[in-house]
């Protein structure tokens, strides 16, 4: 299985909190686990605004966990145009587009993401 972690899932995994048993097992047993560069951008923005506090960089968390960085590519941005307007969060929409293009399963607790035509594991 190939997974893409939603931003909150990366944070919860990194601090060892809140994930469902299904999500924890899927992440632990996955063939590949990706973290989008969009999640790093989202965390940086929220950290700069004082909305979250992190103990280390996304790069360090991803590397320590053995995950793989997923860059944002033109084909991901192009896929955004085909998404129905079910969700207004631009970061989540980009994650959905990436999951669709790369054939990844998203691990998330966001109910809006489940409305798109992508595979989801509930966090």
User: Do the Cβ atoms of 32 and 4 come closer than 8 Å?
Assistant: no
Nearest to 101 by CA among 84, 123, 121, 77: 77
pLDDT range class, residue 97, cuts 50, 70, 90: very high
Angle at which helix 7-15 crosses helix 37-48, to 10 degrees, equals 80
The domain containing residue 13 runs over which residues?
A: 2-122
Residue listed under structure tokens 């004082």: 50
pLDDT range class, residue 30, cuts 50, 70, 90: very high
Q: What is the CATH number of the domain that holds 58?
A: 3.40.50.1010
Average pLDDT over residues 51-69: 94
Total structural domains within the chain? 1
pTM: 0.94
What is the C-alpha R_g of the chain?
13
User: Do the Cβ atoms of 93 and 80 come closer than 8 Å?
Assistant: yes
């Amino acid at each position: 299985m190939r997974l893409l972690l939603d931003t909150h899932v990366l944070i919860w995994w990194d601090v060892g909190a809140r994930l469902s048993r299904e999500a924890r097992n899927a992440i632990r047993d996955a063939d590949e686990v990706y973290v989008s560069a969009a999640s790093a951008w989202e965390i940086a923005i929220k950290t700069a605004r004082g909305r979250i506090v992190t103990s280390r960089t996304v790069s360090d968390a991803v590397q320590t966990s053995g995950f793989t960085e997923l860059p944002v590519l033109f084909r991901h941005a192009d896929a955004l145009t085909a998404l129905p307007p079910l969700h207004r969060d631009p970061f989540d929409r980009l994650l959905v587009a990436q999951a669709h293009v790369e054939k990844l399963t998203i691990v998330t607790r966001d109910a809006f993401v489940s409305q798109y035509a992508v595979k989801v594991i509930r966090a």
